[in-house]
Amino acid sequence: MKLWSKNKTSTAAQIEAFTVGRDRDFDVQMAGFDVEGSIAHVTMLGEQGLMSKEQADLAVAELKKILITIEAGQFTIDAGAEDIHSHIEFMLTERIGDVGKMIHTGRSRNDQVAVDIKLFLRSAIIDVKDEMQSLFDLLIQKSNQHKDTLIPGYTHLQIAMPSSIGLWLGAYAESLVDDMEFVAAAFKVANKNPLGSGAGYGSSFPLNRARTTALLHFNTLNYNAVYAQMSRGKTEKLTAMAMASVAATLSRLAMDCCLFMSQNFGFIHFPDELTTGSSIMPHKKNPDVFELIRGKCNRIQAVPNELTLLINNLPSGYHRDMQLTKEILFPAMEELRSCMEMMKLMLNALGVRENILTEEKYKYLFSVEKVNELVNQGIPFRDAYAQVGNMIDQGNFHFDATQKLNHTHEGSIGNLCTAEINAQMQSVAAVIKIG
């Protein structure tokens, strides 16, 4: 079943198998969006007199029945169908006859798949946003819960200055705020309607593109018909860049957890049932979940580059290369959501060790505190720095690790500003919505 078949020639089976590829597998995920796009298009055709009201009403009613089947999970694409667009149109024609053949008026598969992709990405981005907010809320909660649990901070993987579990987790919460900025930007681009651009050069039919934009709850149009097609690939790449930003945050947090739960650090721990063992070493409690999150998220960070290599240097107009964006991007989006779910599962069970900084090996962690103490006594900073440095070199450095640290400025151990970070997240996330 091909929308372009003229009953005069047939495509060789080997060519057909190669060009269709895995498209049907990913098209099933877009089935509902394809029907929604067709409902909007047919509604507009009826209003513009390109179909009679009765014809449009009949087609819309049957399309809604097909949509119910899809939403119930009872929909499959026939093996003989070239793609979801062909399958839906032929289904409709089988049910309502020649009226089904009218729904492609003023439309090309080029703008049909473009609007399907936009609708799919818009919905998927909202799902990613929801998962991000859920993970963010958990990080904020854990940051507040453990704000007074001190741990070493590191630079160059060398002991540096006092930190806290709250400061550490709060950093990743704020990182998600910036990631959400990328997600919001991708959503804004995805929330533009390409439908009505046809094969990429518009139509001589009096289409009402503003009407389909409203019916599909897009924020605005991709106005230029050529650019509406050029937005294919670009929209996917921008979405992938947003996903890569989120993945980078998750990967780094996963790496921290691998380090911090190891015996050489021992700051955090997790229940046995959330770790794995060794086939030979009975004492092992491996952080396999974090290692896989790290690995999967590092792969996700490669997706923008893969899309760049696919779409780079293409001239204007539609090209079949674009079909491959789905098999690159769609699984990566699902993988990212899965990684966020697993990160939440692990962090919900996070345990922390108290009184870590009283250990002798962390005494130099307080060298800056000693410098600041001398500065508060009126000694110039550079002289205080040299004085404490000499104490360390001579083995005479002493500092009471149990005394209260006085870090009060915004974003420090004693002033995490989680409320302010939360306000930023709510402000950014609020723009990612339909309608």
Which residues lie across from 163 on neighbouring strands?
151
CA-closest candidate to residue 147, choices 162, 157, 159: 162
Residues 159-181, mean pLDDT to the nearest whole number:
97
Q: What is the pTM of this model?
A: 0.92
Q: What is the pLDDT of residues 215-265, one digit of tens each?
A: 999 999 999 999 999 999 999 999 999 999 999 999 999 999 999 999 999
Q: What is the pLDDT of residues 264-286, one digit of tens each?
A: 999 999 999 999 988 898 888 89
Indicate the CATH number for domain 13-105: 1.10.275.10
**Fold of the domain built from segment(s) 118-191+222-358+418-429:** Fumarase C; Chain A, domain 2 (1.20.200)
CA angle, 296 then 297 then 298, to 5°: 90
Residue extents of the structural domains in the chain: 13-105, 118-191+222-358+418-429, 360-393
Q: What is the pLDDT of residues 291-321, one digit of tens each?
A: 999 999 999 999 999 999 999 989 998 888 9
What pLDDT, on a 0 to 100 scale, did the predictor assign at position 400?
82
* CB neighbour class for 253 (10 Å; exposed up to 12, middle 13-18, buried from 19): buried
Q: What is the pLDDT of residues 114-166, one digit of tens each?
A: 999 999 999 999 999 999 999 999 999 999 999 999 999 999 999 999 999 99
Q: Would you say the C-alpha torsion 232, 235, 241, 244 has a positive or negative sign?
A: negative
Q: What is the pLDDT of residues 329-387, one digit of tens each?
A: 999 999 999 999 999 999 999 999 999 999 999 999 999 999 999 999 999 999 999 99
Q: What is the 3-state secondary structure (H, E, C) of the chain?
A: CCCCCCCCCCCCHHHHHHHHCCHHHHHHHHHHHHHHHHHHHHHHHHHCCCCCHHHHHHHHHHHHHHHHHHHCCCCCCCCCCCCHHHHHHHHHHHHHHHHHHHCCCCCCHHHHHHHHHHHHHHHHHHHHHHHHHHHHHHHHHHHHHCCCCEEEEEECCEEEEEEEHHHHHHHHHHHHHHHHHHHHHHHHHHCEECCCCCCCCCCCCCCCHHHHHHHCCCCEECCCHHHHHHHHHHHHHHHHHHHHHHHHHHHHHHHHHHHHCCCCCCCEECCHHHCECCCCCCCCCECHHHHHHHHHHHHHCCHHHHHHHHHCCCCCCCCHHHHHHHHHHHHHHHHHHHHHHHHHHHHHCCEECCCHHHCHHHHHHHHHHHHHHHHHCCCCHHHHHHHHHHHHHCCCCCCCCCCCCCCCCCCECCECCHHHHHHHHHHHHCCCCCC
| C-alpha to C-alpha distance for 293 and 168, rounded to whole angstroms | 19
Reported confidence tier of residue 11, pLDDT bands at 50, 70, 90: low
* Tokens 């006594």 found at: 377
What pLDDT, on a 0 to 100 scale, did the predictor assign at position 220?
98
What pLDDT, on a 0 to 100 scale, did the predictor assign at position 4?
44
Dihedral class, residue 77 (left if φ above 0, else alpha if ψ from -120 to 50, else beta): beta
| C-alpha to C-alpha distance for 426 and 292, rounded to whole angstroms | 29
pLDDT of 21 > 70? The answer is no
Reported confidence tier of residue 81, pLDDT bands at 50, 70, 90: confident
Neighbours of 144 (CB within 10 A): 14
